[in-house]
Amino acid sequence: MKNICVVGTGYVGLTTGTCFADMGNHVVCVDIDQAKVASLNAGSMPIHEPGLGEILVSNLKAGRLTFTSSYAEGLKDAHFVFIAVGTPDDGQGGADLSQVRSAAKSIGEHLDHPVIVVNKSTVPIGTGDLVTSIIDEYRRPEARITVVSNPEFLREGSALHDCMEPERVVLGSEDAVAMEAVEGIYAGLGAPVIKTDLRTAEMIKYASNAFLATRISFINEVAAICDKLGADVKQVALGMGYDSRIGPSYLDAGLGFGGSCFPKDVKALIRMARDSGQHPQMLEAVMEINRDRRRWVIDTLVLTLGTLKEKRVAMLGVAFKPNTDDVREAPALDLIQRLQNAGAHVRVYDPAAMENAAAATEGVDFASDAYSAADSADAVILVTEWNEFKNLDLVRLRRLVRRPVLIDGRNVYDPAAATDAGFEYHGVARGIPPRSLPVIESETRARG
């Protein structure tokens, strides 16, 4: 059993600490929010993450997991200290490292013995060196440290699976012995381990997220073309995905990506590229295409309804993806703002994210279920593909709305079924031919 201190009880820190405890280690999680610490020690979950709450409670009862606001208590007897604090957008495209700096300073001030410090947060390239210098500035002579980069690859909604069954473990350090020690924590999981230097490990995280975001923007760019030419982007993605060089993942056309990772990490990589004298034109296009997907919804509604002023719009889903209550950078928030700016009244229902949505918006009505949200609406927009939305009774939904306009932003519904139910259906490039398609003449006909 290893003694592990995890600094930060946000999404990554809470998941990591809980999973490490469930693997048989003694884990103390440190957070400066005393009310949050008390709530966690009582077994109350601050986030919606399937299965994590039950694991947290069982490890609290087993005595393997505790929470504290005291760095001295958290660091006492620790063999490893994981930094898992937030690195939000700094407002200028870069990552705000204030929480990382503060954590490193506090570790240095309270540490009284040698430890391995592990950067779990997503941090710009070079942050491992920064953490080392800050801790060295404040630590006692006997509290020697080695820093290892160990970026997280957790998907919200699937975090428990990703933590306990990782596809790979990435470690970066100039100290091979320290990397082997951290590798030992993951020994029983059977995942491949990539060992490299600090900066390369940090870059692997950014490159991975940027590539996934690029796949999403690519298929959305293809969808925009399909929409004009009458092709079905779902069938296009299916045909592409069978190619082993491409694969099917992250090829679902829709309203683009959101959440706490992809937007922030792509922007941070753009910032790092610019600061190093590079021109990250593809990454910039990824962000621009992502923004365009929200404009498509508004343009479709205006084309259909004529105006959005005083129109009632029902929004199904506000979390950035299913199985989470996270609304950070959620497409729904952008859409709500655009709809309100155009004079529309918005009513929202989400199975898990209503409280967070209420804190992030103004002037929005919240419904108790999808049918209540759609009552007397001029248009219904499917934004988040929760399972309960996939099984809605479209005939019942049609009877409730004032105007039968359905915008399927995630291509959840069969166009024929939605049309048979009486809706004017608008999916994302579902192959419904527009009024006027360009004529592509054959070479023989053109010569004749």
Cα–Cα dist 446/180, whole Å: 68
Spatial contact of 348 and 354, defined as CB atoms under 8 Å apart: yes
- What's the burial of 391, exposed, middle or buried (CB within 10 Å: 0-12/13-18/19+)? exposed
The residue ranges of DSSP E strands in 225-371, in sequence order, are: 312-316, 345-349, 365-366
DSSP 95-143: B--HHHHHHHHHHHHH--S-EEEEE-S---TTHHHHHHHHHHHHS-TT-
Q: Which residues contact 376 (CB under 8 A, 6 or more apart)?
A: 312, 400, 401, 402
Cα–Cα dist 279/266, whole Å: 14
Q: Which residues contact 413 (CB under 8 A, 6 or more apart)?
A: 382, 390, 394, 406, 425, 427
**Catalytic member of 19, 29, 226, 261:** 261
Name residue, tokens 């491949």.
192
Spatial contact of 318 and 384, defined as CB atoms under 8 Å apart: yes
Under DSSP, the state recorded for 187 is G
Annotated catalytic residue 261: yes
- What's the burial of 234, exposed, middle or buried (CB within 10 Å: 0-12/13-18/19+)? buried
Cα–Cα dist 128/130, whole Å: 5
445: number of CA atoms within 13 Å, CB side?
4
Q: Which two structure tokens, joined as six digits, stand for 349? A: 């229902």
Just list the catalytic residues.
Answer: 261
